[in-house]
Amino acid sequence: MKKRLSTYILVLFIFSFMSCKNQENKKSEIIQTPKSFKILDETKGDLDKDGISEKVIVYDTEKETDLGTERQIFIYKINNDKWELWKKSVGAILPSKHGGMMGDPFEGISIERNCIVINHFGGSREKWNYTHRFRYQSGDFQLIGATVNFGSPCDYFFNFDYNLSNGKINYEKKTEDCENESSKTEKEEMVRKLETLPTMNGFYPGNNELKFPKPETTIYY
């Protein structure tokens, strides 16, 4: 009797284990990489504050543009224990050759405080770095933050931070003279609220202009 009971428990355990594995396989099988696409990066996190994590995948499409291959962002939600495509975005990830001498500019994607955060890096002697933050609101992913660093050693560096939610902008430029071992720092703050926030779909990093009136400086974010 004890032997029969032990066998029954073992069979039940194996069945439960295989059932769980099948459920996991169903979840993974539903996300099939589109034909000719390849995965560059992926992350998981709660984007709509419902307590359930979404999955974000960045694909290289192999579609040629003037600056390399196009990238796309696919966002998936769980529906009836299966991953289903929720949102798709083209443009927010720079093409494969946009980094210039530094190569592929895409550094990575993450989810922080319910926001999608995208990082890029590129340039030659003058290096640039972009960080863009998108939050799901008003039924879409809107740009709420942009940080840009740009410059080269023994010349100048500038840092630009734009909180699009409240319109606050901080700008800092540091000029370096290595030969005379001197430097100068300029700082400026201002508020520039946009009537409509840019959405992730169609957004192109570095293609958005903002001018500072006093130093007559133009920043591209």
- Would residue 60 count as lying in a domain? yes
Indicate the SS3 state at residue 108.
Answer: strand
Higher-confidence residue: 211 or 38? 38
> How confident is the model over 203-207, as a mean pLDDT?
96
- Would residue 22 count as lying in a domain? no
pLDDT digits (tens, 9 = 90+) for 120-177: 999 988 999 999 999 999 999 999 999 999 999 889 999 999 999 999 999 999 998 8
Indicate the SS3 state at residue 3.
Answer: helix
The b-or-e profile of 99-130 (16+ CB within 10 A means b, else e) is: beeeebbbeebebeeebbbbbbbbbeeebbbb
What pLDDT was estimated at residue 6? 52
Rounded distance between C-alpha atoms, residue 148 and residue 153, angstroms: 16
Rounded distance between C-alpha atoms, residue 72 and residue 94, angstroms: 9
pLDDT mean across residues, the chain: 88
What pLDDT was estimated at residue 94? 98
- Would residue 140 count as lying in a domain? yes
Q: pLDDT exceeding 70 applies to what percent of the chain?
A: 86
- Would residue 27 count as lying in a domain? no
Domain that holds residue 111: 37-220
Higher-confidence residue: 199 or 23? 199
pLDDT digits (tens, 9 = 90+) for 59-105: 999 999 999 999 999 999 999 999 999 999 999 999 999 998 889 99
Q: pLDDT exceeding 90 applies to what percent of the chain?
A: 70
Q: Cβ–Cβ contacts within 10 Å for residue 75, how many?
A: 19
pTM: 0.85
What pLDDT was estimated at residue 37? 97
Higher-confidence residue: 180 or 41? 41
**Domains in the chain, number:** 1
The b-or-e profile of 152-162 (16+ CB within 10 A means b, else e) is: eeeebbbbbbb
- Would residue 1 count as lying in a domain? no
- Would residue 8 count as lying in a domain? no
- Would residue 94 count as lying in a domain? yes
- Would residue 25 count as lying in a domain? no
Rounded-to-5 percentages of helix, strand, coil across the chain: 15, 55, 30
Query: Which tokens sit at 214?
Result: 């006093």
What pLDDT was estimated at residue 119? 98
